Structure 1
Amino acid sequence: MENQIIMLSLLAMTCTLAMAFEPSPLQDFCVADYTSSARVNGLACMDSKLVQAEHFTYSGFHLAGNTSNPLGFSVTPVTVAQLPGLNTLGIALVRFDYAPWGVTPIHLHPRATEIITVLEGSIQVGFVTSNPDNKLISKVLQKGDVFVFPMGLVHFQRNVGYGMLLPSLL
């Protein structure tokens, strides 16, 4: 009986260790091959011998978005469609532009954590915790500040200054 308990304990520990293991990717990168019709966890990978620096570069975040809409904000997304080197990495980049008092409405990302970096101006950010008591975590950020919105939590951003705001999201 004692041997069975020891064996079950060792088995339980082994299963726990196996479930906590995070495997490394099988390759360094997978630049999107737009010509392939195969789709497995993103687009098919381009032959790595054909990969160039341009596949990991995007130019365009220097261009301000049009904020003349009722919410006073503009979003410029950069996904694998614009930056093929993002393929299979689970990352997207976004540039937000805000008019004075512009706002990004309450929203969430069920499968992604969001990081915001304020490049200019001041912005109020916040999210609501799910445990234990739906607490609002909020702060006014200034130029150079970074804030993290945990995955799956309801959050918002709002320009609280009078000038144009140019935060960058990841």
Structure 2
Amino acid sequence: MQVVFVYLVVSAVLSGALAYDPDMLQDICVASTSSDVKVNGFVCKSEANVTASDFAFEGLAKAGKINSSVGSLVTVANVDKVPGLNTLGVSLARIDYAPDGLNPPHTHPRATEIVFVLEGELDVGFITTANKLISKTIKQGELFVFPRGLVHFQKNNGDKAASVIAAFNSQLPGTQSIAMALFTATPAVPDEVLTKAFQVGTKEINKIKDKLAPKKS
């Protein structure tokens, strides 16, 4: 009996450790936006107040207006936009790319990502912890997977617009842009850290910071 008990405990621990978002313990747990309390997720809204709109979102139907310097736009459909996703462990996004547009190198700390090309052609890739680049060109109707936590990117090298639908195994995968994290953090990452890491001078570091700084309206 002790062996069986230990086996069950170890199995439970391992299954919990390997899961991404925690398993749900009820049919639905629509996120309550009126509560500031978070315990690895959102407080459940009263079921009496749940409506179909908590599970619906129209934001991915059309391409968004791209006005970023890198030529791409990410429209998310995560728990912040679809409260009904709370505890369900999934979310989507739409990414639109102008010709020559880039979704810069970034990571998702809480999810694996899979992209499906709606239109256009993209060069995509991710970098393993052994610094190996795994890359491919994908076209309309094709897909590509980016493993959880690894740095990855997508680049439209065509002369026409492109778009993908991205799926994540997390209700809130999180996105950390490598460049933005290093050069626009608050408080700022010390210049001596950046100059030594990139083997450049302070002048070059400040030039990058100026280019990435939010534009004042």
Q: Name the TM-score class by shorter chain.
A: 0.7 to 0.9
Work out the CA distance in 2 between the residues paired with 1:71 and 1:61.
20
What amino acid maps onto 1:69 in structure 2? Answer: S
User: Hey, what does 2:56 align to over in structure 1?
Assistant: 57
How far is the alpha carbon of 1:106 from its aligned partner?
1.0
In structure 2, stretches of 5+ residues that fail to align are: 17-21, 168-217
Q: SS of the counterpart of 1:39? A: coil
* Equivalent runs, 1:86-125 vs 2, <5 Å: 86-125=85-124
Is contact 2:55–2:84 with CA below 8 Å preserved after alignment?
A: yes
In structure 1, stretches of 5+ residues that fail to align are: 1-6
How far is the alpha carbon of 1:40 from its aligned partner?
2.3
* Equivalent runs, 1:6-21 vs 2, <5 Å: 13=7, 15-21=9-15
Q: SS of the counterpart of 2:118? A: coil
CA RMSD of aligned residues (A): 2.4
Q: SS of the counterpart of 1:55? A: helix
Is contact 2:96–2:164 with CA below 8 Å preserved after alignment?
A: yes
User: Hey, what does 1:164 align to over in structure 2?
Assistant: 161
Number of residue pairs the alignment of both structures matches: 162
* Aligned CA distance change for structure 1 residues 26 and 68 (closer, same or farther; 3 Å): closer
Q: TM-score, normalised by structure 1?
A: 0.81
Task: Determine which structure has the larger helix proportion and give its number.
Answer: 2
Correspondence for 1:145 among 134, 142, 145: 142
User: Hey, what does 2:175 align to over in structure 1?
Assistant: none
* Residues 35-91 of structure 1 deviation map (CA, whole Å, 9 limit, x = unaligned): 334322222111224322221110121232222432111121223232111223343
Query: After alignment, is 82-91 or 143-152 more displaced?
Result: 82-91
Identity %: 46
Q: TM-score, normalised by structure 2?
A: 0.65
* Residues 4-62 of structure 1 deviation map (CA, whole Å, 9 limit, x = unaligned): xxx99777645533423448521122111223343222221112243222211101212
* Residues 94-128 of structure 1 deviation map (CA, whole Å, 9 limit, x = unaligned): 21110111111111112211111110011111001
User: Hey, what does 1:4 align to over in structure 2?
Assistant: none
Work out the CA distance in 2 between the residues paired with 1:21 and 1:62.
36
* Residues 126-147 of structure 1 deviation map (CA, whole Å, 9 limit, x = unaligned): 00112xx422111111111121
User: Hey, what does 1:81 align to over in structure 2?
Assistant: 80
Which is higher, the Rg of structure 1 or of structure 2?
A: 1
Q: Is residue 135 from structure 1 mapped to residue 132 from structure 2 by the alignment?
A: yes
